[in-house]
């Protein structure tokens, strides 16, 4: 009599893990399919990113004018500002890159002069003079081959630039279309959901908007802040190529966890050619920037939007890099945040749906325990004689 409820409880207990495994299998198959149409997906993702980034400005302008006019003004202002900054930045960065390339031989000479000091440090870890000389020769050869490759691969560079321009136009057109038809598209998606599932569809759309939109705007804000701090700090400390280093820090901030360390290491290495003391000051400055970015401002901007633990973000970074290269590293954290939010929402729904069953199971278990622990009834003859 008791075996049947126990079997039903066991089946219900297996329901949640089997559902999770089924969804994981669906996600793996979807990832395999997406990897074969990665370029088209990349264009769509970039257009979606621009749409989310400009959505607040479009909503603000739409309060005083028609939505079409607000979209036009937002995109003209946004892309005008971006291209204007790019024109100034590219001109300055090109001059600094030219200076940097011209100074590469002197940097190589300084590196050779520092070889005895470096050998004294790394020699404690078993690095020999021959290994250090071989590494130095390899670095110099790679630097010298940059110009040769640039000259021989001119056709490939032109083709890549044209392809990038075509993709940029496609991204812009698709982004404007998504911005214009965004509310209608969201309404259409909600209407396509079955009547009983519209609450869940609204919840999923809200999660996507919060996680993805918040990640885009938060990451851009942090990248702009770190780029300004690094560029201004390097300029104040009189480190060469301050603007170039600020631009590098801005773009590296889009790579979670590791970006600030990579840009910091490059700044320290460049400062090292101007003296050990300056390199130590730059290192200390980057520690301060990392504390501001990672412990003070970052959690306030990104915590509520994505809500991913740093360890999970690092794992998503590594997995995304292995699967999809640079773009996987760039979008690994928001995708992990989206999966985490959807998984937690699904778990809460399953928990709420099965709450009456869990209560019934606990009541049945308590009844079984009380029945098993109760003393056996006395025989009726003894009670009559008493």
Give, for all 386 residues of the chain, the pLDDT tens digit.
Answer: 445 555 566 666 667 677 777 778 888 887 777 777 777 877 887 888 788 778 878 888 888 888 888 888 888 887 787 777 667 666 766 676 667 666 666 666 666 666 666 666 666 666 666 666 677 667 666 655 655 555 555 566 667 767 777 888 888 888 888 888 877 777 777 777 676 667 777 777 777 777 777 777 778 888 888 889 998 999 999 888 888 888 888 888 877 667 778 888 888 888 888 888 988 999 999 888 888 877 777 666 665 556 666 677 777 777 777 776 666 766 777 777 777 777 777 777 777 666 555 455 555 556 666 665 655 555 554 444 44
pTM: 0.55
* Nearest one of 220, 212, 217, 222 to 307, comparing CA atoms: 212
CA distances from 7 to 1, 14, 19, 282 (A): 11, 11, 18, 66
Do the domain assignments include residue 366? Answer: no
Do the domain assignments include residue 246? Answer: yes
Do the domain assignments include residue 93? Answer: no
Q: Where are the beta strands (DSSP E) in 167-319?
A: none
* C-alpha triplet 326, 207, 64: angle, nearest 5°: 100
Encode pLDDT of 93-128 as tens digits: 667 666 766 666 666 666 666 666 666 666 666 666
**d(Cα 100, Cα 254) in Å, to the nearest integer?**
25
Do the domain assignments include residue 372? Answer: no
For tokens 């190529």, what's the residue? Answer: 241
Q: Note the pLDDT of residue 155.
A: 62
Range of the domain at 327: 200-353
Q: Note the pLDDT of residue 371.
A: 60
Q: Is 278 within 8 Å of 124 (Cβ atoms)? A: no
* Those residues with Cβ within 8 angstroms of residue 244's Cβ, 6 or more apart along the chain or in another chain: 93, 96, 97, 100
**d(Cα 19, Cα 27) in Å, to the nearest integer?**
12
Do the domain assignments include residue 20? Answer: no
**d(Cα 200, Cα 220) in Å, to the nearest integer?**
30
Sign of the Cα torsion 95, 259, 150, 104 reads positive
Q: What are phi and psi of 279, to 5 degrees?
A: -65, -40
Do the domain assignments include residue 179? Answer: no
Do the domain assignments include residue 233? Answer: yes
Q: What are phi and psi of 35, to 5 degrees?
A: -65, -20
Q: Note the pLDDT of residue 236.
A: 92
Encode pLDDT of 272-294 as tens digits: 888 889 889 999 998 888 888 77
Which stretches within 193-258 are classed as H helix? 198-208, 214-236, 242-252
Do the domain assignments include residue 72? Answer: no
For tokens 């300056």, what's the residue? Answer: 278
Q: Note the pLDDT of residue 285.
A: 92
Number of domains comprising the chain: 1
């Amino acid at each position: 009599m008791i075996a049947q409820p126990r079997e039903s409880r066991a089946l219900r207990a297996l329901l949640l893990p089997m559902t999770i495994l089924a969804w994981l299998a669906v996600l793996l198959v979807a990832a395999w399919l997406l990897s074969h149409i990665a370029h088209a997906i990349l264009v769509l993702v970039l257009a979606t990113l621009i749409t989310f980034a400009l959505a607040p400005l479009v909503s603000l302008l739409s309060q005083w004018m028609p939505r079409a006019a607000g979209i036009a003004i937002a995109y003209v202002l946004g892309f005008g500002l971006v291209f204007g900054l790019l024109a100034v930045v590219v001109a300055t960065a090109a001059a600094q890159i030219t200076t940097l390339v011209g100074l590469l031989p002197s940097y190589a000479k300084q590196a050779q002069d520092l070889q005895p000091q470096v050998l004294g440090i790394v020699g404690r870890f078993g690095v020999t003079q021959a290994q250090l000389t071989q590494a130095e020769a390899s670095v110099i050869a790679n630097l010298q081959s940059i110009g040769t490759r640039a000259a021989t691969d001119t056709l490939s560079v032109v083709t890549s630039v044209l392809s990038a321009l075509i993709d940029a136009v496609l991204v812009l057109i698709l982004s404007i279309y998504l911005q214009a038809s965004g509310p209608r598209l969201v309404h259409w998606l909600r209407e396509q959901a079955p009547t009983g599932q519209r609450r869940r569809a609204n919840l999923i759309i809200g999660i996507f908007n919060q996680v993805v939109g918040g990640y885009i705007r938060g990451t851009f804000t942090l990248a702009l802040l770190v780029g300004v701090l690094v560029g201004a700090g390097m300029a104040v400390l009189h480190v060469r190529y301050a603007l170039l280093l600020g631009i590098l820090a801005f773009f590296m901030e889009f790579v979670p966890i590791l970006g600030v360390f990579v840009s910091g290491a490059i700044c320290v290495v460049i400062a090292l050619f101007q003296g050990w003391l300056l390199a130590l000051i730059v290192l200390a400055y980057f520690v301060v920037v990392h504390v501001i970015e990672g412990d003070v401002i970052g959690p306030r901007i990104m915590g509520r939007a994505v809500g991913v633990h740093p360890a999970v973000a690092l794992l998503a970074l590594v997995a995304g890099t292995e699967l999809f290269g640079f773009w996987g590293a760039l979008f690994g954290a928001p995708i992990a945040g989206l999966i985490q939010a959807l998984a937690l929402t699904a778990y809460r729904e399953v928990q709420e749906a099965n709450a009456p069953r869990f209560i019934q199971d606990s009541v049945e278990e308590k009844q079984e325990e009380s029945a098993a622990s109760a003393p056996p009834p006395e025989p009726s003859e003894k009670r009559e004689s008493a």
